[in-house]
Structure 1
């Protein structure tokens, strides 16, 4: 792990999540990965929703060299594995993980990890998460202390997986 950069003014994680992660002031950070920062999402309409924020200037995968693309996707898969293990342990209705790399709204390379659950309505469970629409962003789904145990478990499992991956 690299030490946070505390030489600059404090950055607001809501407007610059990567700058805040570098400073150690982003409360959503789960861990540092080779290509970026694993964070838990500000919304938890699907508990365990996480993102991998690329720590660079790329807007999309094709702006990276092929080896860097593979490294980013590898980190995304490791984060997905951690989310799957933690969510499966927390909720017996855990079903699967969906991965997305979109970048249409925020023009910075990042990937989404969406845990999916059997308790979701059938027409939602088998469809893309985006079809939930604005209900994903409502206050009752905001990240807060209700999610502390899941957040800690994802971070712990992620650290184990990254350590294991590093040894291989």
Structure 2
């Protein structure tokens, strides 16, 4: 049922990844699997690069520019206090960037810290997972803002 999660980029290229918002020059902007912070997205590179530094400078620059546009789209669509950007690759060994909105309604102690310090179960709880019914309108706002920003 979720076989596309085993190869998110390949599934996006085949049109089988349901999280894809839009194709960008460097890869695929996707809505996050979890939405405990509404508007959380991921930019998945379509390059075989494992690390940002594996990309030649022009492609690296494009990936970072795309990441910033995704963040700007989230700002426009969701009006968070700020957007955090992170690139790790510790678990999933392909280049991707997490673009995470942060909100004033978050606990002040959590807001001061990286989003990864939220309880691990929050990343997988079914009631916090993305659903079209609960998040589809927001997803469309992000997609439209990103389309506009990309010109």
TM-score, normalized by length of structure 1? 0.85
Q: How does 1:116-155 map to 2 (within 5 A)?
A: 116-134=102-120, 135-144=122-131, 145-155=133-143
Number of the residue aligned with 1:75: 66
TM-score, normalized by length of structure 2? 0.94
Q: Secondary structure at the match of 1:15?
A: helix
Kindly state the Cα deviation for residue 136 of structure 1 after the two structures are TM-superposed.
2.8
Structure 2 residue corresponding to 1:97, chosen from 58, 78, 83: 83
Q: Which ranges in structure 2 are unaligned for 5 or more consecutive residues?
A: none
The structure with the largest alpha-carbon Rg is 1
Separation in structure 2 between the aligned mates of residue 80 and residue 13 of structure 1, nearest angstrom: 25
Kindly state the Cα deviation for residue 20 of structure 1 after the two structures are TM-superposed.
1.2
Q: Which ranges in structure 1 are unaligned for 5 or more consecutive residues?
A: 1-10, 89-93, 164-168
CA RMSD in angstroms comes to 1.2
Separation in structure 1 between the aligned mates of residue 58 and residue 15 of structure 2, nearest angstrom: 28
Separation in structure 1 between the aligned mates of residue 47 and residue 64 of structure 2, nearest angstrom: 15
